[in-house]
């Protein structure tokens, strides 16, 4: 059986071996080769023809950033997954790597810091499978079927659409699995109390594939955008400030990592800080964000469910919820609360999602008015701003 082949690039023999062992635990993945720095990786690529590269950033002779520059110069399209050092050390260089075309990043497994290697293993495997599989499809190579024991969407079981809910798109295409009879993500039926009204705030929940998706969307939003945007992007603590700075460089809006008490105002994009929840508090004269260290919700902190629930309570039908690419189902439950409150709710479609987990859960539950392609989202937001901006 053809499998997704991986080139592991790290100057640490221990890390090369650890990453290789994680990859080779899955029968649909294989390690094509290993390299101790970027120069050796470039030499091996023509012979190994990998489907994805797992890349360290701090290496002698040719660093990860230098490799990405050379990859771009040579027109190499193989996706790159970054192994990032922790917070203060790794945030800035990781954002530079994303700007140079890296697809995604994960934290290096570091037992000394008590990191859960099992969780990193799941994330690494899913990202390799998603980006490597998509690259194989673009190149006309067969995409290996996902191992049956793996489930779908990082351990979330596939679901059966309920017959009495609105028409919806089910998962399809290579690697899709037939629905079964298990509960529909335990999400309750919802009925919209009223039609959407003037949109005063837009809330976005996004995870796997999010950094590059947002880098694509925000530059397409016009400078006259008069509706505030609030974003929950699953990201470790210490990274979201640099992420906000990197997004601010490529768009016409003010983008910042949210701080407790920040005003929600036109032309501002607030990103939930890593490992902290973000909620809205609507007051008589202004709306502010509240940042907290409350327990994780839906397995995440920050959680899109937390943001969506607060938007539903504060703005009801005068809001818009957007659920985008990501593993699992964070945001799916409470975008249902927004839908029930009369908000306009939309989700990213399967073809343009790196992982169609979060939007799939919301779509199959019947909580979305429509789905969209990533290419269209910037203009959808612009249209919403043109229609409702004067009322914000």
Residue pLDDT, tens place only, 90-136: 788 999 999 999 999 998 876 554 456 777 888 899 999 999 999 99
**Listed residues 88, 104, 138: the one ending a domain:** 138
- pLDDT(360) > 50: yes
Half-sphere exposure of 230 (CA within 13 A, CB side): 35
144 lies in a domain?
Answer: no
Structural domain of 112: 4-138
Averaged over 369-380, what is the pLDDT?
Answer: 96
**Listed residues 138, 161, 184: the one ending a domain:** 138
Residue pLDDT, tens place only, 294-345: 999 998 999 999 999 999 999 999 999 999 999 889 999 999 999 999 999 9
The pairing of beta strand 277-282 with beta strand 287-292: antiparallel
- The per-residue pLDDT for 81 is 97
In the chain, how many domains are there? 2
Residue pLDDT, tens place only, 140-170: 888 788 786 544 343 333 333 333 333 333 3
Cα 312 to Cα 336: distance, rounded to the nearest angstrom = 9
Cα 118 to Cα 61: distance, rounded to the nearest angstrom = 31
- The per-residue pLDDT for 1 is 55
Q: Find, among 5, 10, 17, 1, the residue nearest to 41 by Cα.
A: 10
179 lies in a domain?
Answer: no
* Cβ-based neighbour number of residue 273 at 10 Å: 22
**In this structure, are 226 and 121 located in the same domain?**
no
**Listed residues 122, 138, 154: the one ending a domain:** 138
Cα 31 to Cα 33: distance, rounded to the nearest angstrom = 5
Give CA 202 to chain center in angstroms.
Answer: 17
**In this structure, are 91 and 216 located in the same domain?**
no
Helix, strand, coil percent values for the chain (each to nearest 5)? 35, 20, 45
* Cβ-based neighbour number of residue 238 at 10 Å: 16
- The per-residue pLDDT for 182 is 37
**In this structure, are 222 and 102 located in the same domain?**
no
CATH code of the domain containing 384: 3.40.50.180
- The per-residue pLDDT for 166 is 33
- The per-residue pLDDT for 195 is 75
Which tokens in the block code for residue 354? 């790196």
Q: Find, among 42, 49, 96, the residue nearest to 74 by Cα.
A: 42
CATH code of the domain containing 112: 3.40.50.2300
Taking a C-beta distance cutoff of 8 angstroms, is the pair 215, 338 a contact? no
| pTM of the complete model | 0.85
Taking a C-beta distance cutoff of 8 angstroms, is the pair 221, 253 a contact? yes
Q: Which residue has the higher pLDDT, 163 or 366?
A: 366
Residue pLDDT, tens place only, 266-291: 999 999 999 999 999 999 889 999 99
Residue pLDDT, tens place only, 210-252: 999 999 999 999 988 889 999 999 998 889 999 999 999 999 9
- The per-residue pLDDT for 169 is 33
Taking a C-beta distance cutoff of 8 angstroms, is the pair 312, 319 a contact? yes
150 lies in a domain?
Answer: no
Cα 62 to Cα 346: distance, rounded to the nearest angstrom = 43
Looking up tokens 């929950």, which residue turns up?
Answer: 232
153 lies in a domain?
Answer: no
Cα 51 to Cα 240: distance, rounded to the nearest angstrom = 29
Q: Which residue has the higher pLDDT, 26 or 180?
A: 26
**In this structure, are 95 and 14 located in the same domain?**
yes
Averaged over 245-266, what is the pLDDT?
Answer: 96
Cα 348 to Cα 323: distance, rounded to the nearest angstrom = 6
Residue pLDDT, tens place only, 19-42: 999 999 999 999 999 999 999 999
Q: Find, among 37, 46, 95, 88, the residue nearest to 66 by Cα.
A: 37
**In this structure, are 31 and 120 located in the same domain?**
yes
List CB contacts of 112: < 8 A, sequence separation 6 or more: none
**In this structure, are 251 and 109 located in the same domain?**
no
321 lies in a domain?
Answer: yes
184 lies in a domain?
Answer: no
- The per-residue pLDDT for 14 is 92
Percent of the chain scoring above 70 in pLDDT: 86
Cα 133 to Cα 356: distance, rounded to the nearest angstrom = 14
211 lies in a domain?
Answer: yes
Q: Is 150 exposed, middle or buried (0-12, 13-18, 19+ CB in 10 A)?
A: middle
Taking a C-beta distance cutoff of 8 angstroms, is the pair 323, 209 a contact? no
Taking a C-beta distance cutoff of 8 angstroms, is the pair 284, 315 a contact? no
**In this structure, are 210 and 282 located in the same domain?**
yes
Give the active site residues. Answer: 207, 234, 330
Q: Which residue has the higher pLDDT, 133 or 87?
A: 133
**In this structure, are 220 and 295 located in the same domain?**
yes
Averaged over 255-274, what is the pLDDT?
Answer: 96
**In this structure, are 113 and 223 located in the same domain?**
no
160 lies in a domain?
Answer: no
Give the CA angle between residues 304, 308, 314 to the nearest 5°.
Answer: 150
**In this structure, are 294 and 366 located in the same domain?**
yes
């Amino acid at each position: 059986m053809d499998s997704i082949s991986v080139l592991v690039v790290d100057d640490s023999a221990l890390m090369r071996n650890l990453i290789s062992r994680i990859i080779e635990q899955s029968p649909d993945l294989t390690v094509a080769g290993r390299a101790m720095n970027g120069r050796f990786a470039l030499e091996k690529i023509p012979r190994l023809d990998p489907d994805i590269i797992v890349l360290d950033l701090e290496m002698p002779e040719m660093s990860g950033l230098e490799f990405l520059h050379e990859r771009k110069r040579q027109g190499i399209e193989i996706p790159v997954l970054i192994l990032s050092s922790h917070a203060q050390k790794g945030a800035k260089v990781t954002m530079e790597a994303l700007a140079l075309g890296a697809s995604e990043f994960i934290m290096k497994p570091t037992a000394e810091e008590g990191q859960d290697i099992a969780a990193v293993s799941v994330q690494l495997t899913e990202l390799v499978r998603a980006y490597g599989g998509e690259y194989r499809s673009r190149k006309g190579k067969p995409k290996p079927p996902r191992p049956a024991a793996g489930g779908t969407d990082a351990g979330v079981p596939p679901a059966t659409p309920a017959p009495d809910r609105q028409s919806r798109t089910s998962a399809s295409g290579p690697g899709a699995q037939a629905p079964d009879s298990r509960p529909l993500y335990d999400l309750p039926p919802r009925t919209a109390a009223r039609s959407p009204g003037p949109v005063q705030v837009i809330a976005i929940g996004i995870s796997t594939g999010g950094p590059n998706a947002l880098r694509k969307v925000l530059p397409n939003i016009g400078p006259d955008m008069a509706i505030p945007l609030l974003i929950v992007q699953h990201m470790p603590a210490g990274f979201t400030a640099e992420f906000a700075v990197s997004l601010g460089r490529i768009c016409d809006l003010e983008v910042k990592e949210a701080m407790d008490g920040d005003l929600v105002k036109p032309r501002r994009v607030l990103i939930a800080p890593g490992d902290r929840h973000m909620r809205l508090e609507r007051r008589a004269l202004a709306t502010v964000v509240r940042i907290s260290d409350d327990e994780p919700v839906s397995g995440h902190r920050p959680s899109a469910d937390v943001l969506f629930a607060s938007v539903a309570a504060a703005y009801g039908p005068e809001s818009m919820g957007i659920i985008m690419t990501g593993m699992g189902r964070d945001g799916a439950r409470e975008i249902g609360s927004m839908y029930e409150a009369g908000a306009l709710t939309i989700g990213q479609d399967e073809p343009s999602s790196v992982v169609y987990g979060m939007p799939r859960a919301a779509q199959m539950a019947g909580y979305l008015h429509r789905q969209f392609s990533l290419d269209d989202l910037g203009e959808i937001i612009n249209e919403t701003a043109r229609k409702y901006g004067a009322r914000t």
